[in-house]
Amino acid sequence: AIATFGRLHWSALAAQLNVMSLRNDYRRVADMLLMQVGTAYDQAVQAEENVTIAQANVGLKEAHLSDTRKMLAAGTVARFDLIRNQSDVNLARQQLISAQNEYDKAVAGLLTLMGVDPATPVVLAEAVPPPPPPTDKTAARQVAQQRRPELQTLNYSWQAAQANAHYYKSTLNPQVSLQANYIDENITGFTTPNQFTGTLALQVPILDGGQARAQANGAMEQAEQLRQQYEATRRSILQDVETGWDDLQSAWQRLALAEQNVRDTEQLAHIAEVRYRGGISTNLERLDAENNLDQVRSAAVSARYDYLQAQVRWMRATGQDYPSEVVDSLIMPNREQDMPLPKGMRPRDADHVVETHPPANPPAPVPPPVPPSVVSPP
């Protein structure tokens, strides 16, 4: 082909844009999977910490029961104290069984999402103090609009539809082509062997019954629908950012209050223990203080991992990269950065279709990600 008058250009451009759209759709699925794994990991670590709290509570209650039995034998406490301690031990053991069951289910769910046999023994990485939330919501809004793959998928699909409209219009354009043949010998033998033939052809479509115009109009209608979906998705993404920002800030404040409550309750439990040892208060007061401390510690664990899960949702809302990458580098070398057209390709000036592009956003700094991590199975 010497000159296709737009056919080859617009067809190749639409194909390139469709590839980029599919890449971002693949990125969207990968981001969703990573968010699910991060959330499942946080839940598994939360369940593990609850098991640790329950084990410590059982040990403490069993120690109290042993001391009470000795004191009852010495006649220094009433039998009521023994019955109350025995009841607390049974309750603590039930809580430990429930906590262990929740941990087993959380780990099995995590391994299933990772594609690993749920029966595989694993060791979860030690929990680290959660970082504070971001402070610049405006930058996060800009980053989300640039990096969310759902938006990029619609952006490239929308441009591909416009390229298809150009292509359908160009099918009525003429086409110039050159054909060359080399003949070594023929069957009859009446002509000279080793012939070279060349043909220069000009094809001029005259009438197609309006098919090209109908296809172009259909492509432009599809482009308009995609543009409207783009705007609706952009508003939805901004809503995700607003919701994620509020959840993150609220969870951070609740976490600070829960940790302060643990410190205060630990002091109360210590005072209750000292008062009981000094004969000032009863065993009932001491046990109530310890049970309250156990509940407060569990609430603090829940608050901590509510915050971590809010961070995972925030990473997805703002389109941030995760520390683990499941996307093949040959398929998706890097995250698309709102590139309007493939590199090195420009729309032709001839037969230009009037277009309305989505609003461009200036680059913005990316907040640091929060890594959910799992130590490899031994």
SS3 293: helix
Q: Give the tens place of pLDDT for each residue, 174-197.
A: 889 998 888 776 566 565 667 788
CB 306 within 8 A of CB 251: yes
pLDDT at 86 (0 to 100): 92
- Rounded to the nearest integer, the mean pLDDT of the chain is 82
pLDDT at 362 (0 to 100): 36
- What mean pLDDT comes out for the span 333-359? 42
Which are the contacts of 377, defined by CB distance < 8 A and separation ≥ 6? 116, 120, 121, 122, 123
Q: Comparing C-alpha atoms, which of 140, 165, 145 is closest to residue 358?
A: 145
Q: Is the pLDDT of residue 354 over 50?
A: no
Q: Comparing C-alpha atoms, which of 335, 346, 10 is closest to residue 160?
A: 10
CB 38 within 8 A of CB 326: no
SS3 338: coil
Q: Is the pLDDT of residue 332 over 90?
A: no
Structure-model confidence comparison of residues 189 and 306, the more confident one: 306
CB 163 within 8 A of CB 14: yes
Tell me the Cα Rg of the chain. 34
Query: What does the alpha-carbon distance between residue 191 and residue 346 come to, in Å, rounded to a whole number?
Result: 49
CB 174 within 8 A of CB 6: no
Q: Is the pLDDT of residue 339 over 60?
A: no
Q: Sign (positive/negative) of CA torsion 36, 39, 44, 50? A: negative
φ, ψ dihedrals at 241, nearest 5°: -65, -45
Give 3-state DSSP helix, strand, coil % of the chain, rounded to 5. Answer: 65, 5, 30
pLDDT at 186 (0 to 100): 59
Query: What does the alpha-carbon distance between residue 222 and residue 208 come to, in Å, rounded to a whole number?
Result: 22
Least confident interval from 13-27, 42-56, 321-335:
321-335
CB burial of residue 180 (10 Å; 0-12, 13-18, 19+): exposed
CB 31 within 8 A of CB 149: yes
Q: Comparing C-alpha atoms, which of 108, 107, 112 is closest to residue 33?
A: 112
